[in-house]
Every structure is written in C-alpha cells, then in structure tokens.
Structure 1
C-alpha cells in the first residue's frame, strides 16, 4: 500500500487537513465558545506587549465584556501592581480598539500538591507509629475480629 493510500480523505476526495477539522469545530451553533476563546487569546497576544515588562510574564487576559477587562495574575503582589497600573492599561486597551472602562484583576490559586506527595514529605511521628503498630498487633491476635462487640 502506498503512503498516499494511508492518508485520510475528506468527502471531496482530497486529504483531510487540520483546517477542515477547525472549520467543522467552529460551525454554528457549537462553535461560539471556541470562537470566543480564540478571539480572547488573540486579544491577549495583542495586549501582552502593551503590559509593563514586569507584569507581562505574570498576567493573562481572561475576559473582556461590556467595557470590563478581566486579567488573571499568579500572585497577590502582581494583582496590586496591575491595579496600580490600571489607568495606563485601560489607555492601552483603548489603543487597540477596545472600549475599556474598568479593570478587574483576579488571582489564581496555587497548585496544590497531591496527597501522595504530602505523605512522602511528612514523616510519621513516634506516637502515631506506636499506635499503628499496636493496631496491627491487635489484628494478629488469634480470635480477634478487629472490632469490639459488647453484646
């Protein structure tokens, strides 16, 4: 079988392309949220060079609606700096064609380690170890069911 025979074909007989898949994804009515996400990403890319250099790596445009710019930052310190720079940021938004009147800044939550990594990081205390060993020994006793029946 030749390599051209193994390529997927579209309905018109030509090779399938990622562009055709994207066009299908963007088709109405389901494509609305995807189109909006792509528009916001494009807007973020246009806005990023207008941010102060110290903020650009820590902030991302999350939404724009009814004159409100919403940014997400990765720490409270960047939230404070964004709020201090609000007038300049609103002017920058207007310079790229947005009718921005308000700046909202939200802080993301830090990534929390998984419970498994917490168990590895914290050693068990001597008291907890003794209690665990006593519980295990009580399970080994002949005739013990591991529960107390008082009936």
Structure 2
C-alpha cells in the first residue's frame, strides 16, 4: 500500500515527528486498506479544536481527536480516506492525567482517528469493545502498552 500523508502542524506544542505518525497510520491501515491511500492529519491547539468540536459535534470545548471520513462518490475512485485532527495540548494533558507515556498516547490517538476513517466507531457497546480490542492489538504490536488498562480511567477518544 502506498500512503500519501499530509501533516499540517498548527500548534505551538511539541508534536511527534512525521516518521512516527506515518508508522502509526500505516499500522492502523495494515490489512484494512490495500490500495493507495491519502490521509490528511492536522495537529492543532485548543482554540482550533474547540471551534471544530463545537461546529461539527455541537460539544463545548476541545476534544483529543476528530476524524472526518471522505464521502466522495465511489465512482470517482480517488484514494482520499479523510482527515484527522488531533489537539496537541489535550493529548499532552490526557497523557499526564492518565499516567501514560506521551508517545504512547499520541500513537493511540493517531490509530484511533485512522480507524474512524475506516468506519470503526464506539457509539454502541459492542462497537466500542471491538474498536478497543483492535486498538490494543495495533498498539501492542507497535510495542506500546494497552491503552485501556484497568488501573487507568477508561474513556473513549471523541472522534
């Protein structure tokens, strides 16, 4: 699979390097996408994420990750999978609050957002369990710990 990844950084916060982000996106796509794929990933600050979250989800304040799957007609046969937006300050603060390594949490949010582009969701309990299991498999294969450890507060990314 050939991945075209457009990364836009609009945050003053430190963010992972492009190689790590590419590795995380590719891990989420592995075996689930065989053709050329294009993904845009924007790393933002609190103000931009708050605006997006309020505009698209009608929820107050920022969230950690939002995904916008492409809804192009299939007959166009374009490789655009969609857009992911991750809020760097929220990811940093969540990692601190949950006593997680920052890199591991970035990997989780990137995988989570990518899976949403592929159609995975966590609205229903069965969907949430399936998505969490898949995220855990992907992240542990990348040598990160399970993001849903029992001793940590369980919360879903808001994508």
- Asked if these proteins are the same fold (TM beyond 0.5), I'd say no
Larger Rg: 1
Bigger proportion of residues as helix = 1
